[in-house]
Amino acid sequence: MNIEIGGCGFFGLLTLLFIALKLLGHIAWSWWWVLSPILIPIGIGAIFLLVLGLIAIIIGVLDL
């Protein structure tokens, strides 16, 4: 049985589609919107890690 993990995924394919449409002139979006399928999950992950860090600091300060 051969199982492969990886690949481009939905957000990667969506980003490639947006880049192709931008380069072909079919959409006039800024590059921020074109790259948003990659940037939004990264931003959500960063916010999640920030919240976890703040909770760890608060628990450490309160010594619960």
Concatenating the DSSP letter of every residue in the chain gives --------HHHHHHHHHHHHHHHTTS----HHHHTHHHHHHHHHHHHHHHHHHHHHHHHHHHT-
**In the chain, where the domains are located:** 9-62
Question: pLDDT of 30-56, one tens digit each?
Answer: 999 999 999 999 999 999 999 999 999
Question: pLDDT of 5-35, one tens digit each?
Answer: 667 788 999 999 999 999 999 999 999 999 9
C-alpha triplet 17, 21, 27: angle, nearest 5°: 130
Q: Count Cα atoms within 13 angstroms, Cβ side, for 53.
A: 6
